[in-house]
Amino acid sequence: MSKTFGWLDVQRIAEELADRHPTRDPFAVRFTELRALVEQLAGFEPDPKHPVNEKILETIQAHWAEELEDLPADDDD
């Protein structure tokens, strides 16, 4: 896996967000906050040829939600 990634790496971004924010509802995160969360990820380097847009952010949200569904549930009993 490459050490750096950009906006077009939506699956990688979703995996990173799911790991770092497993209790967040991706669809409750505003796009401005989502953009900031992604930009704070280690290894994220935006490519000036591929700036972020609403479609990319929507796709990240959807993939992030899918990643959270795949995480094992915490057994607190």
pLDDT in tens, 11-23: 999 999 999 999 9
In whole numbers, what is the pLDDT of the chain averaged over residues?
92
The per-residue pLDDT for 73 is 63
The per-residue pLDDT for 75 is 43
CA distance 26 to 15: 12
CA distance 74 to 52: 34
Q: What is the DSSP letter of 28?
A: G
What the block records as the tokens of 32 is: 């401005």
Q: Which residues contact 54 (CB under 8 A, 6 or more apart)?
A: 31
pLDDT above 90 covers a percentage of the chain that reads: 86
The per-residue pLDDT for 71 is 73
Delineate the domains of the chain, giving CATH numbers in brackets: 10-70 (1.10.10.600)
What the block records as the tokens of 27 is: 């669809």
Quick check: 10 and 26 in contact, CB under 8 A?
no
Place 74 in a pLDDT band, splitting at 50, 70 and 90.
low
